């Protein structure tokens, strides 16, 4: 079994900006994501048998969505600011075709459609535990970054990735890449 997901990578040109953003709030109780692997998860597939990979790849190769621009901006938290568990970087753009086709094509190979509304974002940090004073500091830092503009990127590739979890953080390997016209 291999842990897999479909993603859009954040360009390397944004990694230094992401690191600078993370420096505003990283501290006790937060596990930052290495800026070099920050991405927008389009669909988490979970643990799949290697025998399923050809079917997944065939489904991905059937995608027919045009490439588009995405504005990477704004910092927020899931599930909300009262009890943040994940700090994210926003992604604005027309992800609807991409997300819709992924859900449809992958459901044909046995993956359940995600019932929650898709909100394009890149995870910056996961929160393990925050004292009330630390939570207030984090919320203040996030509020100060709410309107931050990182830049415009072109979404022209979607990748099937393997995730290997280690004590030092996840290691990602691209298993398949699909170019969007």
Catalytic positions, written as ranges: 39, 121
CATH number at residue 100: 3.90.1140.10
Task: Please state, rounded to an integer, the average pLDDT across all residues of the chain.
Answer: 95
In this predicted structure, the answer to whether residue 25 has a pLDDT above a threshold of 90 is no
Strand, helix or coil at 89?
strand
Note the pTM of the prediction, 2 decimals: 0.94
Q: What is the pLDDT of residues 146-172, one digit of tens each?
A: 999 999 999 999 999 999 988 888 899
Number of folded domains that form the chain? 1
Structural domain that includes position 164: 2-179
Alpha-carbon distance of 111 to 160, in angstroms, equals: 14
């Amino acid at each position: 079994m291999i842990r897999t997901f479909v993603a859009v990578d954040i360009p390397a040109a944004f990694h230094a900006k992401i690191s600078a953003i993370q420096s505003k709030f990283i501290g006790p109780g937060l596990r930052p994501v290495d800026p070099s692997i920050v991405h927008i998860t389009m669909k988490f597939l979970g643990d799949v048998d290697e025998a399923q990979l050809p079917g997944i790849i065939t489904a991905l190769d059937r995608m027919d969505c045009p490439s588009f621009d995405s504005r990477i901006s704004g910092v927020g938290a899931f599930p909300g600011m009262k009890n943040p568990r994940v700090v994210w970087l926003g992604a604005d753009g027309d992800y609807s075709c991409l997300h819709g086709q992924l859900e449809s094509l992958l459901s044909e190979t046995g993956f359940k459609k995600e019932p929650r509304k898709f909100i394009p974002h890149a995870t910056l940090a996961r929160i393990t535990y925050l004292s009330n004073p630390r939570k207030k500091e984090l919320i203040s830092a996030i509020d100060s970054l709410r309107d931050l503009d990182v830049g415009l990127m072109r979404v022209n590739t979607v990748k099937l990735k393997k995730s290997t979890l280690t004590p030092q953080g996840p290691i990602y390997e691209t298993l398949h890449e699909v170019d969007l016209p």
